[in-house]
Structure 1
Amino acid sequence: MKKSLHMFFAVMAIIVLAVSACAPATPAPTEAPVATEAPTEAPVATEPPATEAPAPELGTAENPLIMALAPSATTQELQTGGQAIADKLSELTGYTITVTVPTNYAAMIEAMGAGNAHIGWLAPTQYVVAHGKGYADVGLATIRNGSNHYGFQFVANAAAGFTSYYDPATGTNTADAATALAQFADKKPCWTDPLSSSGYILPYGLLTENGVKVKAGAWVQGHPTVIKSVYLSPKGEICDFGATFIDARSNVATDFPDVNDKVSIIWVSDPFIPNDNVSYASNVPDEIREKLTQALLEIASTEEGITLLKNGGYSIQGLEVVDDTFYDDYRVYLEASGIDPTTLFK
């Protein structure tokens, strides 16, 4: 009996152990994952943005003032005479000033607008266009023969067969424009520049107003060149007639002493065109403008200075301070001429 009980308990023990071995194991508790920060890169050192060095002060040797001269006289005459004026201005103001003569009136306007010219000796239509574009402001008007206005003239070779309606003894016309200009119908003119008041715009406007149709003109640049071209054209070799300011013949008398005999004045206008001027580019500071203006007036106040200005290429005999209203009446004449000068500017 006891043996049977021992056998029973032994069997039961074996069964319990077998069941325990087959039961699934209880998983050990796991810890929550610890959040980790992504590694950060070390900041990269950056250089401050480069800054341009300030431009040298205007009027210094490193950044000189540029004085531009309208090409209405010969380039050599303007270069030589203009440099003498620039040197005197430098002496009086302390500014460094260089001289340039642009190839034509439009190029000079462009130079004023682009900062390639700071002081401009501008013809009236040049100035009207330049100011209208915001490129220039007038400072001084020139004076010749006691006047700040001038007129234009039609000229022809004395051997070409045209009739003069101008009396040099009295300085007046002997006929109206319609009568005097009719003889130029279907003839070839010599013009100075498309933006020249007395060398193209107003003379052409007067011809048109009087119904005189002419051939396409020869653009010869400069009033002295028109006179020379007419002088050399007794048979219309270059042109049949020309237009210039009064009296451009004097500008070539050294080279052509008999110019007054060979080139006849046919008819002259009233002196209603404002004289050329000294203008300042819009980027020129007021302080520099004032200093230059006072220096130019000082030059014009002495005999030596007047000689300097007269030999500068424009036969200047004086200067006076003016503002833009000086050109108001002239703008009316331009409009009446039927030519919009801004359309001539390229």
Structure 2
Amino acid sequence: MLAGAEPIAQYVEEKTGIVIKPVIPTDYTAQQEALCSGEAQMAALNTFGYVRASAKGCADVALVSVRYGSTSYQGQIITQAGSGIEKVEDVAGKKFCRPDPESTSGWIIPSLTMKAAGIDPETDLAEIVDTGGHDAVVIAVYNGDCDAGATFLDARKLVAKDFPDVMDKVAVIATSAPIPNDNISFRPDFPKDLRDKIVQALLSLNDSDEGKEMLKGLFSWQGLEAADDAFYDGFRQQLEAAGVTIEELSK
């Protein structure tokens, strides 16, 4: 991931004269803590990480990523085909893989989906395994190391080269409503003139094949679009409609 961030940092420096030092945190929580403590001044945040950091007054979105021509995506719950797990209710008592406890599509949204199906994910699952990545969740389910798991739609494609039959062997039993994509955010106290220069430099990556390759090399982004905080209100409303708070999901 650092190898993907460094060319973009160098590009921004060449365009603006502003030096950016890429740092890869250990997990989503560490990333948010770095932003809130002032150790980091800008960050690429996942959806839940953004609404959590913004609620603490630590983050203000500037750009949203584009994948497959869209600024939103979906989550999925997967299992081995023929496992007998055919609907969300069937994951009760099963070993469940997730990428990270603060992954939006890999845990936050599927945990709400399970609750809506009458399953308490904290008590009704046999075991919860943190794999460290969406691709790792797919592989764990493929190999039978986990009975079910959650990822973004369709993370199976990440491993299709190494596991050609993954689309047949790993089945999708549920998909989520659209979720806003990840973003680039700044601390609210970051100087506006510097922020504007960085944002314009990053947007200019959309204008060349070389720039698009840089974005692809970071998080498989296909582009960037300007965004503001209101773009994430729909996701906040999903949480509110489910009767949960950001604080509850952060425990």
Q: Given the two structures, how large is their TM-score scaled by the length of structure 1?
A: 0.67
* Change over 3 Å in CA distance of 1:108–1:299 after alignment to 2: same
CA distance in 1, matches of 2:165, 2:19: 41
The runs of 5 or more residues in structure 2 that have no matched partner are: none
Which residue of structure 2 lines up, in the alignment, with residue 221 of structure 1?
132
**Equivalent residues of 1:201, 1:339 under 8 A apart:** no
* Aligned match for 1:315, one of 203, 220, 223: 220
**Equivalent residues of 1:121, 1:279 under 8 A apart:** yes
Name the larger-Rg structure: 1
CA distance in 2, matches of 1:221, 1:341: 22
**Equivalent residues of 1:129, 1:341 under 8 A apart:** yes
The runs of 5 or more residues in structure 1 that have no matched partner are: 1-77, 164-179
* Aligned match for 1:133, one of 28, 43, 56: 56
1:325 and 2:230 are equivalent in the alignment? yes
* Aligned match for 1:182, one of 65, 71, 89: 89
Q: State the Cα distance separating 1:247 from its structure 2 match.
A: 0.9
* Aligned match for 2:204, one of 295, 298, 306: 298
Q: State the Cα distance separating 1:275 from its structure 2 match.
A: 0.5
Which residue of structure 1 lines up, in the alignment, with residue 156 of structure 2?
249
Q: State the Cα distance separating 1:303 from its structure 2 match.
A: 2.0
**Equivalent residues of 1:194, 1:344 under 8 A apart:** no
Which residue of structure 2 lines up, in the alignment, with residue 28 of structure 1?
none
Letter in 2 for 1:128: V
1:104 and 2:104 are equivalent in the alignment? no
Q: State the Cα distance separating 1:265 from its structure 2 match.
A: 2.0
Q: State the Cα distance separating 1:153 from its structure 2 match.
A: 0.7
1:98 aligns to what SS in structure 2?
coil
Q: State the Cα distance separating 1:129 from its structure 2 match.
A: 0.8
CA distance in 1, matches of 2:134, 2:47: 15
Which residue of structure 1 lines up, in the alignment, with residue 246 of structure 2?
341
Letter in 2 for 1:117: A
**1:11-30 superposed matches below 5 A:** none
**Equivalent residues of 2:108, 2:249 under 8 A apart:** no
Which residue of structure 2 lines up, in the alignment, with residue 23 of structure 1?
none
Q: State the Cα distance separating 1:159 from its structure 2 match.
A: 5.6
Letter in 1 for 2:143: L
**Equivalent residues of 1:205, 1:338 under 8 A apart:** no
Q: Number of residues paired by the alignment?
A: 247
CA distance in 2, matches of 1:217, 1:127: 24
**Equivalent residues of 2:93, 2:125 under 8 A apart:** yes
Which one has the bigger helix percentage?
2
Deviates more, 1:114-123 or 1:85-94: 85-94
- The higher relative CO (CA closer than 8 Å, separation ≥ 6) is in 2
Greater than 4 Å deviation, 4+ residue runs: none
Q: State the Cα distance separating 1:221 from its structure 2 match.
A: 2.2
**Equivalent residues of 1:201, 1:337 under 8 A apart:** no
Letter in 2 for 1:97: I
Deviates more, 1:276-285 or 1:151-160: 151-160
Q: State the Cα distance separating 1:261 from its structure 2 match.
A: 3.3
